[in-house]
Amino acid sequence: MQVMSSSPSLSPAFNNFSGAGKFSYEFGLKLRLKDEEPDKEEEEEEEEEEEEEEDNMGSESYEEAIAALSKLLSDKADLGSVAAAKIKRITTELEAAVADQTKFDPVKRIETGFLHFKKEKYEKNPDLYGALAKGQSPKFLVFACSDSRVCPSHILDFQPGEAFIVRNIANMVPPYDKTKYSGVGAAIEYAVVHLKVENIVVIGHSCCGGIKGLMSIPDDGTTSSDFIENWVSICAPAKTKVKSESNELSFSEQCNNCEKEAVNVSLGNLLTYPFVREAVVNKSVALKGAHYDFVDGKFSLWNLDFQISRFHPL
């Protein structure tokens, strides 16, 4: 694996990082794509193919060796116990080596993933990506859960440039608080004031671990996590509502209701941000709630209507 630095002027400072004590950086695999011309890429692909072939050949020869050794063990039943034990040990080591070669490689996974995107999307839509490189103008701000199964790009087929997306545990929007919730505030502020999105959509989902966590917090309020329970308590009003209205339902049904009620709590919290309230009143931003059920394959969507009526003096 080649170790290359990405920026000569900064690399010396990065190879030995003193701040965190015993940890340091290593510049791992750097894809050469950005410096290459198209024909060099082909060469690269060939090289990669060759490497792959070598790997495959390697595992083939391992497997052949294992097969031969196993055969030896079974054929020569009268082998001395020491010899047999040795053969067994070697066989086990070889099997482990084969398993290693097919083990998940995160670096390769990331590399392959990007190459797929580059070939199938980036290079096939030069106009779109050329325009996007200059700037973004998404119409949607979306709050979705961090859950690996509910990415809005998948479930709502958002294309690059269409949706500004915040993802956190249980897709929650906390109320305006410059100290406690600057991250969410910054995202909403950037989307509404700077990007001028037209919709804010909060999407809940089935089997949400965060909501289950909220529903599992004991009544005396004792928590055992560093952050999670504190964070999901943002939607405690949803839990209260669900428990009071559907106490006879099973726990999982209550959780399902809470997933939707929590979306409504978040929608209400959005209105505590003055720039959101103003935009909603002006009708330049619409607030929507949604719930994605990946058990049944369903999606429901609803609006939050908010207006301030004319003041009539008595």
Partner 1 sequence: MDTQSAEVGVEEGPNKIFISQQQVVDEEVQAKVEMLIAELHGTKHHPPNDPDAQKLDHGFHFFKTNIFDAHPEYFSELAKGQSPKFLVIACSDSRVSPSVVLNFKPGEAFVGRNIGNMVPQFDQLRHTEIGAVIEYAVKSLEVDNILVMGHSRCGGIERLMTLPDYTQTYDFIDEWVKIGLPAKKKVLQEAGDLPFAEQLTLCEKESVRNSMVNLLSYPFVRNAVVNGTMIVRGGYYDFVNGSFEQWKMCTH
Catalytic residues: 145, 147, 149, 205, 208
Q: How far is the CB of 92 from partner 1 (least distance, A)?
A: 22
Q: How far is the CB of 39 from partner 1 (least distance, A)?
A: 16
Q: Which residue, 133 or 314, is less far from partner 1 as judged by CB?
A: 133
Residue 28, both tokens? 């791992």
b/e map of 200-221 (b: 16 or more CB within 10 Å)?
A: bbbbbbbbbebbbbbbebeeee
Q: Which residue, 66 or 170, is less far from partner 1 as judged by CB?
A: 170
CB atoms within 10 A of CB 142: 25
**195 exposed, middle or buried (CB, 10 Å; 0-12, 13-18, 19+)?**
middle
Q: How far is the CB of 53 from partner 1 (least distance, A)?
A: 23
CB atoms within 10 A of CB 233: 17
Q: What is the Cα–Cα distance from 269 to 180, expressed in whole angstroms?
A: 14
Three-state SS for 150? Answer: coil
Q: Which residue, 44 or 87, is less far from partner 1 as judged by CB?
A: 44
Q: How far is the CB of 31 from partner 1 (least distance, A)?
A: 6
Q: Which residue, 74 or 222, is less far from partner 1 as judged by CB?
A: 222
| Strand-pair category, 199-205 with 163-168 | unpaired
